[in-house]
Amino acid sequence: MQSDLQNDALNERPSRPPIQETLASLGEMRESTNKTLIYGLSDLSDEEIIQLRSVWNGLSDTYRMDLLTALVETSENNADLDYMALAWLGLGDPSEETRKAAIELLWDNESLSLMEKLMAMAVHDPAVSVRAAAAAALGRFILLGEFEELPQREFAEGQRVLAELWTNPREDVEVRRRALESLANSSHDLVATAIAEAYDSEDQRLQISALFAMGRSCDERWSEIVLAELDNEDAEFRYEAARAAGELEIEEAIPALSRFVFDDDVDVRDVAIWSLGEIGGKEAVRILNLLANDAKLNRDRDLAEAIEDALAIAELGGSNLYMMRLDD
């Protein structure tokens, strides 16, 4: 649920406070976000970043991370707010958790400069968690390249970096799995072999990433495996199988997805609803309409909105679009 401040950010935008007022509020470290910080940290100039840096370095690691994390949701709810300059500052932070939060705060940035930075961080950052986050964030750039919306040279370089991360036996599994997930957004020759290798491994983390990559690959060869994993007792496997079923538009998955909408795991339920919308067709629409009626009777607004979104896609027969992010 959105906080009152985040809801306020969706309404008329107040005047941006002076930088000194913003810095004073920041230095107090009383709360991770307030109106002064939400609006004052947006659209920072180079000169303001210089002023901010001295205050920023005096904040605790936890506060810096919490602040950037809170601003992620704020930016997702209000496209007028631009925290790019602040996030770039965070990319060089000494705290790995803050660097990870900065990567997330740049979730909608598709600049080549960011792509280059992420490739460098994926390879050279000293923290495994940051290398993994950078490798995962490269996925959207690989998808752009697959759709020919990225220069060929950068697209090829991004694929090379991810392929080398995956094939490096000395690299941590967390980084390798995120590299595979991102590379699966392309038709790179390595993808099918890498997915099979990950799925056949004894590491559950790699198996889960293989299921994720199966859906992203849009390759029907994985349909039988995805269908089988819908019966997995592990909720994380069911979640990824349900997501992949939607991305691959597997009609045979509809009965299982219909059961998942009553799953005890909320994330599994939500992804099942999304997948029914992606698959589309008469049966998926019928099920979603039944669910919509139940949601209205129970006055579950969030569930009703999720079902409404899925219905909009299902009634068009499925979208066959990549799902770049599911809300937690």
The pLDDT value recorded for residue 300 is 85
Q: Nearest CA to 248 among 259, 240, 260?
A: 240
The least confident of 16-20, 39-43, 247-251, 301-305 is 301-305
Q: Do domains 4-233 and 234-321 have the same CATH topology?
A: yes
Q: What's the maximum distance between 2 C-alpha atoms anywhere in the chain?
A: 60
Q: Beta-carbon neighbour count of residue 179 at 10 Å?
A: 29
Per-residue model confidence (pLDDT) at position 126: 98
User: Are residues 320 and 328 in contact, defined by beta-carbon separation less than 8 angstroms?
Assistant: no
For residue 204 the two structure tokens come to 């559950």
What average pLDDT score do residues 34-54 get? 95
DSSP secondary structure code for residue 108 in this structure: T
Mean pLDDT of 45-68: 95
For the chain, percent of residues with pLDDT exceeding 90: 82
- What's the CA gap between 188 and 124, in Å, rounded? 23
Structure token pair of residue 28: 């107090």
**Does the domain formed by 4-233 have CATH 2.40.50?**
no
In this predicted structure, the answer to whether residue 252 has a pLDDT above a threshold of 70 is yes
Buried residues in 31-70 as b, exposed as e (16+ CB within 10 A): ebbeebbbbbbbebeeebeeebeeebeebeeebbbbbbbb
CB 316 within 8 A of CB 286: no
CA 215 to chain centre: 15
Listed range (25-29, 151-155, 312-316) with the worst mean pLDDT: 312-316
Q: Would you kindly state where each structural domain of the chain is located, as residue ranges? A: 4-233, 234-321
State how far the Cα of 284 lies from the Cα of 143, in Å rounded to an integer: 27
Stronger pLDDT, 203 or 328, i.e. the higher one: 203
Nearest to 283 by CA among 323, 307, 254: 254
Kindly write down the DSSP assignment for every residue of 122-147, as one continuous string.
Answer: HHH-S-HHHHHHHHHHTHHHHHHHHT
Given a contact cutoff of 8 angstroms between Cβ atoms, the answer to whether 177 and 199 are in contact is no
Tell me, what DSSP letter sits at residue 17?
P
* The pair of three-digit structure tokens given for residue 282, joined into one six-digit string: 């008469």
For the segment(s) 234-321, the CATH number from 1.20.120.80, 3.40.50.11740, 3.40.50.720, 1.25.10.10 is 1.25.10.10
What is the reported pLDDT for 52? 96
